[in-house]
Amino acid sequence: MTTSARPRAIALWLYVVAALVFAMVVVGGITRLTESGLSMVRWEPISGVVPPLNDAEWHAEFEAYKAYPEYQKVNRGMSLSEFKAIFFWEYLHRVLGRFIGLAFALPLAWFWARRAIPEGYKPRLLALLALGGLQGAIGWWMVASGLIDRPDVAHDRLAVHLGTALFILGGLVWTARDLMALQRREGRSRLKGFAVLALSVLAIQIVLGAFVAGLNAGHAFAEWPLMGGHFFPEGVQWLEPLWRNVVDNPVVVQWVHRWWAWLAAALLVLLSVRTSRESGGSAPRLVLLLLTAQIILGIATLLTGVALHVAVAHQAVAALLVWAAVSCAHGLGRPGYRMH
């Protein structure tokens, strides 16, 4: 490490960016649940930062919205004030995304110019920057799917958008923890096999959750643990080929999301226990706390008929759980520690 390197400062900056990404995930959840995501029908990365500023501009924006399927098939007859309400969340989501881009790119350029980035970290930081840019393109790719025929974004694209956001969050946290270890003169952590398994199962659960949201599958059965009075509901209309049901069938997707959760929970508990035993720290306890909250919120989301505040909390805790689980995996992979 060169004398000009500032690993701790860079790590703290990355934690701030990770917190902003968490906020972005929460706002994205609100945008989805309030059905606001299709209110802005153009992708204008630069000029789109400025919202409508007068009545004429608002009416022009509203008229543009009226030309697309969501207004024509779902919201026909809505008032301008109602349009402003849904426009707000999508606008906030997009502006926050641009702000995160600047919050990453500008300090990165400053640290780079000051030769403060430790050796070996420039490629990783550039990769995170590139992923952030890609995420903006994925966001528009997702929105565009709801501007053609069906007035709703494609659930698979929604899953890619959410998954990429949480992958970026995990990458920021892992890199920040590596830099903190460097500050302490410790080596980098490595992903161990069990941690890969636990994080992969958690990732699948999050993708299933995105499918549930995108298909509005949470409304299929507002009861728990049974569905229609049965462990597996009767009268399911199966899709062909069979694998499509886990992706496209709302009833099956909800069922798989319910029960895959227990596999994810079991592996996260084991990850927490092993990390606590091997390297300690607060992350293992946080995983257990967040996991308990997430199970309760998942059940409450169903029982309340996907109430907005409950469903948003469910998505928020999922993001925090990713943060804590990545921290556990990092602790488990620290040099000098071994798994039993």
314 in a labelled binding site: yes
Alpha-carbon distance of 187 to 14, in angstroms, equals 19
| Centroid of chain to Cα 263 | 20
Rounded to whole angstroms, the maximal C-alpha distance in the chain is 68
Alpha-carbon distance of 159 to 274, in angstroms, equals 30
- Report how far apart, in Å, the C-alpha atoms of 211 and of each of 4, 180, 253, 263 are: 47, 36, 7, 18
257 in a labelled binding site: yes
Q: Which residues contact 97 (CB under 8 A, 6 or more apart)?
A: 24, 135, 136, 139
Asked if residue 69 has a cis previous peptide bond (ω within 30° of 0), the answer is: no
Alpha-carbon distance of 145 to 29, in angstroms, equals 18
The tally of CA atoms less than 13 A away on the side-chain side of residue 57 is 6
In this structure, are residues 188 and 177 in contact, taking their beta carbons and an 8 Å threshold?
no
DSSP code of 171?
H
User: Which pair of tokens denotes residue 328?
Assistant: 């556990």
User: Which pair of tokens denotes residue 278?
Assistant: 């091997």
The C-alpha angle 74, 78, 84, rounded to 5 degrees, equals 110
- Report how far apart, in Å, the C-alpha atoms of 112 and of each of 108, 115, 125, 130, 209 are: 6, 5, 10, 16, 38
The binding site for heme consists of 257, 314
**Residue numbers belonging to the annotated binding site:** 257, 314
